[in-house]
Amino acid sequence: MSDRTAEAPRARLPLVDPFHRAITYLRVSVTDRCDFRCVYCMAEDMTFLPKRDLLTLEELDRVCTVFIERGVRKLRITGGEPLVRRDIMTLFESLSRHLRSGALDELTVTTNGSQLARYAEDLVRHGVRRVNVSLDTLDPEKFRKITRWGDLAKVLKGIDAAQGAGLRVKINAVALKGTNEDEIETLMTWAHGRGMDLTLIEVMPLGEIETHRADQFLPLSAVRARLQERYTLEDLDERTGGPARYVRVMETGGKLGFITPLTHNFCESCNRVRLTCTGQLFMCLGQEDAADLRTPLRLSEGNERLEQAIEEAISRKPRGHDFVIDRRRNRPAVSRHMSVTGG
């Protein structure tokens, strides 16, 4: 008897963690590879995973579909750089059926922008309505220094293409002490002038890198205090399903977000889990505990074992993370790189 034949009907209840938080948001890393080597994210000489370890696009679709059937309403595709994965548009095309059926509210993507000029129109055709672009500086020389391999002109061309195709663009910028802290106002006024929100992110202690993160860390409380000397910041109650807390900058009319995992964590309302490109499900970005979904996924054509593994994983979701920067030793709070987990 096949595994599928043996399966009994199952009640498809929403996924709820031990702290009564419904899991409605899944972030999916489709690759650990990237065409940049940002100094806060990766080591310059990275060793990437062998292809056999990665979930196929069909397997990624299958896992996402199970999560959607269990109550996930928002799906974010991440990497690495997701748009460098071969044939990635076939995954967007397949997942778009859940938008058409109404089972999914939003399909979106976080990208470094390098491939947007190529894919912006395809993304719109497959139901994507907004994208997050990681961009830490508007200075070409500084951009090259931060990304090691990146070309600012190519990213700006990608943003132009995204807006031209009708995508709403939000800019994400990691605040880096001594690198871009003097440029945050410039980034903000540039983004708001183009109708784009800006979200600032504290550097996170994930993965071994060459630089000491204590030297990179810039508390956003200090950034906000400095901005308030010149701008009027009005707190907003709205949430986008992510960890950012937003203000309206009255002088520009735009929104400014703050993601502060170190100075003020965002765990109390966390509705998110993260799937890696190898099928590991992380219930918390700042914890090492993970569940293997690849094995049950590949054991049978049916989804009984996969759903059981997901349910068991959600039952272990912690209340919050334990991020801290070790100032005495250059040791990350979590050993895996952000590019593996999914940004």
User: In this predicted model, what pLDDT tens digit does every residue of 24-37 receive, in sequence order?
Assistant: 999 999 999 999 88
Alpha carbon of residue 56 to chain centroid: 20
List Cα–Cα distances, 164 to 92, 172, 338, in angstroms: 20, 19, 30
Does residue 41 have a pLDDT over 90?
no
Of the candidates 152, 161, 80, which has an alpha carbon nearest to the alpha carbon of residue 118? 161
pLDDT, tens only, 62-107? 999 999 999 999 999 999 999 999 999 999 999 999 999 999 999 9
231 in Cβ contact with 256 (< 8 Å): no
| pLDDT above 90 as % of the chain | 67
Fold for 21-341, please state it.
TIM Barrel (3.20.20)
Give mean pLDDT, residues 290-311: 95
Provide the token pair at 115.
């491939």
List Cα–Cα distances, 317 to 226, 274, 329, in angstroms: 36, 11, 29
Does residue 205 have a pLDDT over 90?
no
Beta bridge partners of 26: 75, 273
pLDDT, tens only, 247-292? 999 999 999 999 886 555 556 778 999 999 999 999 986 677 899 9
Least confident residue range of 12-16, 88-92, 212-216, 245-249:
212-216
**Domain chopping of the chain, boundaries:** 21-341
Instruction: Give the pLDDT score at 76.
Output: 97
Q: At 127, is the pLDDT very low, low, confident or very high (cuts 50, 70, 90)?
A: very high
> What is the layout of strands, in order, in the sheet containing 290-292?
233-235, 245-249, 255-259, 197-202, 168-175, 130-134, 106-111, 74-78, 25-29, 272-275, 280-282, 290-292
Q: At 40, is the pLDDT very low, low, confident or very high (cuts 50, 70, 90)?
A: confident
Give mean pLDDT, residues 94-121: 98
List Cα–Cα distances, 105 to 175, 188, 306, in angstroms: 30, 28, 23
pLDDT, tens only, 216-227? 788 999 999 999
Q: At 42, is the pLDDT very low, low, confident or very high (cuts 50, 70, 90)?
A: confident
275 in Cβ contact with 63 (< 8 Å): yes
78 in Cβ contact with 115 (< 8 Å): no
Q: Tell me the pLDDT of the chain averaged across its residues.
A: 86
Q: At 239, is the pLDDT very low, low, confident or very high (cuts 50, 70, 90)?
A: low
Q: Which residue has the tokens 């990635």?
A: 88
DSSP-derived secondary structure for 18-57: TTS-B--EEEEE--S--S---TTT--SS--PPPGGGSPPH
Give mean pLDDT, residues 201-211: 60
Q: At 38, is the pLDDT very low, low, confident or very high (cuts 50, 70, 90)?
A: confident
Give the amino acid at 162: A
342 in Cβ contact with 275 (< 8 Å): yes
pLDDT, tens only, 165-202? 999 999 999 999 989 999 999 999 999 999 999 999 98
What does the alpha-carbon distance between residue 261 and residue 232 come to, in Å, rounded to a whole number?
24
Instruction: Give the pLDDT score at 331.
Output: 47
41 in Cβ contact with 204 (< 8 Å): no
Burial class (CB in 10 A: 0-12, 13-18, 19+), 241: middle
Instruction: Give the pLDDT score at 308.
Output: 97
